[in-house]
Structure 1
Amino acid sequence: MKKALGAAAVAAAAALALSACAGGGSQNASANSDASGTISYWLWDANQLPAYQQCADDFHKANPNITVNVTQTGWDDYWTNITNGFVGGNGPDVFTDHLSKYGDFVKNNQLLSLDDAVKADNVNLGQYNKGLADLWVGQDGKRYGLPKDWDTISLFYNKDLISKAGLTADQVGSLSWNPTDGGTFEKAIAHLTVDTSGKRGDEAGFDKNNVAVYGVGLAGSGASEGQTEWSWLTGTTGWTHTDKNPWGTHFNFDDKKVQDTITWFHSMIDKGYMPKLETTVGASMPDAFGAGKAAINANGSWMIGQYFGYKGINVGIAPTPTGPDGKRASMYNGLADSINAATKNPAAATKWVEYLGSPACQDVVAAKAVVFPAISEAADKASAAFKAKGIDVTPFTQQVKDNTTFLFPITENAAKVDGIMKPAMDAVFSGKSPASSLTDANSQVNALFQ
C-alpha cells in the first residue's frame, strides 16, 4: 500500500515544495481573502465520491467565483499520482490525506500549514471528536489538515452461517481471545470453518486443505500497522507499535507480546481456519465474504456500505473480542484534507478545506451513511442514517465511547518502515519465517531513526 520515494524524487519534490511555499507556510491564506478560480480536489474512496461531489456543488453555489473539480482514483494509484504530482508540479490543490503519509510530506515541505487561516477565520477545532484535530499537528507545531472523518474496527459476520453453526449474535458479540489457546474466539472460528465434505474445523476428519468456508477471512499480512489484520488483537495485550504516538522514533516488533499474537494468528492458517496468505494476493477479502466463503471478517467502518451491499448475504456487526487485559481494542484513524504547498491558489484552496471541515459538508457526508464524519454532531447523524437503513453501527462507535481505541502509528519514514515490515510480515504469514524473525526487521526499522 505504501510506496517510498526515490532519493532523486525526494530531492526534487523537496526543492519544488520549498520554492512553492517559500519556507513552509508563508502562503497560508485566510478563507476571508478574495478567493476565486478553479481548484482540484482528489480523494481515493469511490463510496464517498457522491457526497463530496455534492459538497463541491453546494460550495460553488455559495461561492460562485470558485469551482472545485473532484477526482477519485483507487488507493494505490492515488498515492502514486500524489507523489508524481508533487515531483512534477501538477498535483492537486487539495487532497484527502492519511496519517501514514503526512509526516513525510511535512518533512519534505510539501504541505501548506493552516494555522493562520484557522486563527483568522475562527475555525472551531473543538467541534471535532476528541483528539482528531491534534493528530494533524506536525512535529514543527504547525497544523497541516482539518479532520474529515474517523474509523474503528469491528467484526462483520454472516448471520446465516452463524445460525447454521448453532451460534447466537450474543455469543459472537462476547467473544474473548488470548495468544495461548485463542479463547472462545478460536473455538468459534474453528466451528464456523467447514471443509468441502461438510466437516467443521472442530470435528474429527476435518480436511484443512479443502475448505469451503473459512471461519475468518484474511486480507494480507498487515505490514507495519496491521490495521484491519491484527492490530485489534495486539491492542489487547498492552503492546504498542512505537515508543510514543504520534511521532514515535522506536518500533516494538521485538516485543514478545506482538510476536506471540502474530504466532497465534498465523496458526489459524496452519489449522485451516483462515485462508493462506498466497491466496489473498490480488483477491478481495470482502468479496470472498460476499460469496459466502468466510463467516467473519475484521474490517473498518469505512467498509460498512460494501459489506451490506452483497446480495443474498445477511450481515451482522459484532465488536472485536476482548483480550488478555479484559478489554476490546481498535485502531483509531482519522483522515483530513490537506493543501499542496505548490498550489497556485492558496486562498481558494483554504476556503475549500475549511468548508470540507464544516458542518455544511460533513452533514452531507453523514446523510449518505458511508463513514463517520469528524464533527461529533455529524457523526451522530451518520449513526442515525445507518440505523434508518437497518444497520446497527454500535460496535464501531462503542470503541470510541468506551475509550478502547489507540492511534494509528504516526511517524516519519512511514514508507520505508513499511518497505521493511511488509516482506518481514509476509514471510511470517507464509510460514517461511517464525514471528521471532520480526526482531531483526525491527532493528532495521529503528535504524531509520538514528
Structure 2
Amino acid sequence: MIMSLALAACGTPATEEVPAATEEAPAATEEVPAATEEAPAEVIEVTFWHAYGTGSAEEIALAQLLEQAAVDLPQYKINVLQVPFNDIFNKYDTDVAAGGGPDMFIAPNDNLGGQARAGTIMDITDLVAGKLGDFSELSQGGMMYDGKMYGIPESLKAVVFWYNTDMLAEPPATTDDLKALMEGGTPIAISFGCYHHWGFFGSFGGKIFDDQFNFVADEDNQAKVADAISYLNDLYQISVDNGWPRNDSDGLAPFTEGSVAAITNGNWAMGDYRKALGEKLAVAPIPSGPGGASNPLLGVDGWYFNPNSENTEAAIEVALYLTNTAAQQLMMDEAATFPPTPPLT
C-alpha cells in the first residue's frame, strides 16, 4: 500500500497499474479448484445388520473390528443394527421387498437359495471378480447359487462334540460308547433337531440327499436312516428320563456351569464355552458308528448385499475389510470362528 502511494507521487500514470492488477486476478481464480481438490471427500454411510447375541464372544470381537475399521476406513461411517437371529431373515426380506433394508447383513447361508430366487440378495459375481482368491473353494461354494456368487464368506461352521475334561476324561469314539455313557448316568446334552443331529445319519451310513441334492429313497438307505433315528430316539428317552437338556440353548448354562459333561453344538459357541471352562474345554467329532464317520452339515456365514443399496461398492469394500487376514485372526482368537481362508495360526 505504501509503495503504491509512492509510485503515484512520482507521477506514474494510474492507468498503467490497472492491467497489472487485472493480470493478478486470474492467479487468484486459479487457486479455487486447488482448494476444492484438497477438501475431504464426503463420508459414505454403510449400514449392516447382524444377529450375534448381546455380550457374546462374536459380538465383542466384532466391536473390536469396527473400532479398527473407524481408523482404517475413514471414508466410511459404518452403522450397525443387532437383530435377533430368529427375526433377521424375515425382517431383512420384508424390508428389502418394500424398497428398504440395510446395505448388507451377515448370516449363515441357510436361506441363500430362497433369497437368491426371490431377488432379495444381490448377485455380486462381477463385483468381487478377482477379489476372493484367498478364500477356500469350499467357502466360496457356500456363497453360490446356480453358478453365481451372492456373498463374501466370513466363517465356516459345523456341529461337534464339546466336553468338560474334569467330568469326561475321553470323548466317546463310537455311537455305542456315547449311548453307554448316557445309560451309565453321565449327563450329556444332545441337541436334538434336524440340523444339530444331522451328523448321526452318516454314523449309520444313511443319506438324506445325494451329491446332486436328490432325495435318496432306496430301501437300503432308508433302513440306515431309520437305524439312526431309532438310535437318536433312544438317546432322547434317556435324556428325558434324567431331565438333561435336549437343545443347545437349554444346555448352555448346565454345560458352562459344570452340571453336564458334554454337549453337541456348533463351533459358534466355542467362545462362550472357552470363557467359562478355560483349559477344561475339549472338542471331538460327533461319534462314528456302524456306517462310518459322522457327517454334520457344514454352514458358511457370509456377507450379503441389498439390491436396493446405493452404496454397494462401498459395502463390498467394508465386507472385504471385515474378512481380511487380520480380521479373521481376531475373530478366530476371540470368538473361535473357523476362517474361510487357509488355516491361520
Q: Compute the TM-score of the two structures, normalised by the length of structure 2.
A: 0.76
Match of 2:181 among 188, 210, 226: 188
Alpha-carbon separation, structure 1, partners of 2:158 and 2:217: 22
Q: Name the residue aligned to 1:114.
A: 124
Match of 1:142 among 124, 148, 158: 148
Tell me if 1:345 matches 2:311: yes
Q: Name the residue aligned to 1:205.
A: none
- The one-letter code of the counterpart of 2:195 is Q
Instruction: Tell me the percent identity.
Output: 20
Q: Name the residue aligned to 2:321.
A: 355
Q: Name the residue aligned to 2:159.
A: 153
Q: Name the residue aligned to 1:15.
A: none
Alpha-carbon separation, structure 2, partners of 1:113 and 1:252: 34
Shift of 1:219: 3.4
C-alpha distance 108-35 of structure 1, shift in aligned 2 (>3 A): farther
Alpha-carbon separation, structure 1, partners of 2:63 and 2:273: 23
Query: Does structure 2 conserve the Cα–Cα contact (< 8 Å) formed by 1:49 and 1:72?
Result: no
* 1:173-184 pair list within 5 angstroms: 175-177=173-175, 183-184=176-177
For structure 1, the residue ranges without an aligned partner over 5 or more in a row are 1-33, 163-167, 178-182, 194-214, 382-450
Alpha-carbon separation, structure 2, partners of 1:337 and 1:295: 35
Alpha-carbon separation, structure 2, partners of 1:157 and 1:375: 27
Render the CA deviation track for 1:37-65: whole Å, top value 9, x for unaligned.
11111111233223223333333333322
* 1:45-194 pair list within 5 angstroms: 45-46=52-53, 47-119=57-129, 122-125=130-133, 127-139=134-146, 141-162=147-168, 168-169=169-170, 172=171, 175-177=173-175, 183-193=176-186
Secondary structure of 2:149's match?
coil
- The one-letter code of the counterpart of 2:206 is W
Query: Does structure 2 conserve the Cα–Cα contact (< 8 Å) formed by 1:160 and 1:314?
Result: yes
Q: Name the residue aligned to 2:49.
A: 42
Query: Does structure 1 conserve the Cα–Cα contact (< 8 Å) formed by 2:142 and 2:299?
Result: no
Shift of 1:270: 2.7
Q: Name the residue aligned to 1:371.
A: 337
Secondary structure of 2:142's match?
helix
Shift of 1:376: 1.6
Render the CA deviation track for 1:155-196: whole Å, top value 9, x for unaligned.
12233333xxxxx32xx2x5212xxxxx22211222234xxx
Render the CA deviation track for 1:17-74: whole Å, top value 9, x for unaligned.
xxxxxxxxxxxxxxxxx99511111111233223223333333333322111122233
Alpha-carbon separation, structure 2, partners of 1:39 and 1:53: 15
Q: Name the residue aligned to 2:195.
A: 227
Q: Name the residue aligned to 1:257.
A: 224
- The one-letter code of the counterpart of 1:95 is F
Secondary structure of 1:309's match?
helix
Shift of 1:145: 0.7
Secondary structure of 2:154's match?
strand
| Structure number with larger C-alpha Rg | 2
Aligned Cα root-mean-square deviation (Å): 3.0
Match of 2:275 among 302, 306, 309: 309
C-alpha distance 296-145 of structure 1, shift in aligned 2 (>3 A): same
Alpha-carbon separation, structure 1, partners of 2:254 and 2:279: 11
Shift of 1:332: 1.9
Render the CA deviation track for 1:304-357: whole Å, top value 9, x for unaligned.
122233369943323321222343433322111110111121121121122233
Render the CA deviation track for 1:223-281: whole Å, top value 9, x for unaligned.
xxx332x1121122332332335xx354769922222211111112334577679x758
Shift of 1:123: 0.7
Moved more, 266-275 or 79-88: 266-275
Q: Which structure: greater helix fraction?
A: 2
Secondary structure of 2:289's match?
coil
Tell me if 1:268 matches 2:276: no
Q: Name the residue aligned to 1:238.
A: 205
- The one-letter code of the counterpart of 1:317 is V
Alpha-carbon separation, structure 1, partners of 2:163 and 2:225: 25
Alpha-carbon separation, structure 1, partners of 2:278 and 2:306: 44
Q: Name the residue aligned to 2:260.
A: 294
Q: Name the residue aligned to 2:295.
A: 329
Alpha-carbon separation, structure 1, partners of 2:87 and 2:113: 20
Shift of 1:216: 2.1
Secondary structure of 1:192's match?
coil
Shift of 1:295: 2.2
Q: Name the residue aligned to 2:36.
A: none
Secondary structure of 2:270's match?
helix
Shift of 1:109: 0.8
Render the CA deviation track for 1:105-154: whole Å, top value 9, x for unaligned.
100111112221222xx3133x2234111221211x21101111112332
C-alpha distance 308-58 of structure 1, shift in aligned 2 (>3 A): closer
* 1:213-224 pair list within 5 angstroms: 215-220=187-192, 222=193
C-alpha distance 244-104 of structure 1, shift in aligned 2 (>3 A): same
- The one-letter code of the counterpart of 1:123 is K
Query: Does structure 2 conserve the Cα–Cα contact (< 8 Å) formed by 1:236 and 1:327?
Result: yes
- The one-letter code of the counterpart of 2:160 is S
- The one-letter code of the counterpart of 1:124 is L
Say how many residue pairs are matched. Answer: 300
Alpha-carbon separation, structure 2, partners of 1:232 and 1:362: 27
C-alpha distance 309-55 of structure 1, shift in aligned 2 (>3 A): closer
